[in-house]
Each structure stands twice: as C-alpha cells, then as structure tokens.
Amino acid sequence: MGLGQRLGVQAARHGFLLILGSALIWVGVAFAGYAIYIALLASLTPPTAAAATAGILLVGPLFAVLVFQFRRSPAQLPEPDLRPVEQVQDTAMLQLLAGVAKEKPLLAVLVAGLIGAAETFRRRP
C-alpha cells in the first residue's frame, strides 16, 4: 500500500470518527433536552416547559462561552523579526519536484501547476 493510499485511508477514518463523534454529541444534547423537558413538565404547561428547556440549552452554553472569553488573558504576540528572509523554500520545492519528476513526470507537472497557482494567490497584495 503506497503513501497516498495510507493517507487516504487515515483521512477517511478520521472523517468517519469526526462524524460519529458529532452524532454522539447531538444525540446526547437531544436526550438532555428531553430530560429537562420531562422534569419541567411536572410543574409547567407543555409549551412553557419547552420554551424553558430551549432557553436553558441556549443560554447555558452562551454563558459558559462568555465566562471563558473574559477569563482568558489576551494573547501576547511575539515581536516580529525584521531581518530579511532567505528564499530557501523555493529551492527546496524545486528539489522536491525534481525528485518526483524522475519517477512520475505527469504528476510533477500537475504539482508544479498547483504550487504555481498557490504562490500566485499567496503573493497577491
């Protein structure tokens, strides 16, 4: 199995786990909402219990996010280095393409085109 296939399998596995984890969270929130609704239903009318449950499930996380935002210290940015940068990455990219071109020339042409397009977008003012 080549490197590309292994990376593809790994990406598919991680994507599946991300979807599965997200589904578990959604199901958990749904069951929690239903449990709150049932608990409030004993003392409130059904529409009022539903509104109170929605309020709890919306205001609770919003309050938690606000608390975490205000407790966090502002990020300290490092001082920028004002020395000129050497153009080493361009030569490294050319060496990589030269190695790929020996084995798979069509792939090297495709990758060179993609890198050129990315550089064009990156250097836009």
What residue ranges do the domains of the chain occupy? 8-71, 88-122
pLDDT in tens, 34-43: 999 999 998 9
What is the per-residue pLDDT across 75-123, written as a single tens digit (0 to 9) for each?
787 887 777 766 655 677 677 767 777 887 777 778 778 888 888 877 7
Q: How far from chain centre, in Å, is Cα 68?
A: 20
Its pTM stands at 0.47
DSSP state of 1: -
User: What does the pLDDT look like over 8-26, one tens digit per residue?
Assistant: 888 999 999 999 999 999 9
Residue 48 has a pLDDT of: 93
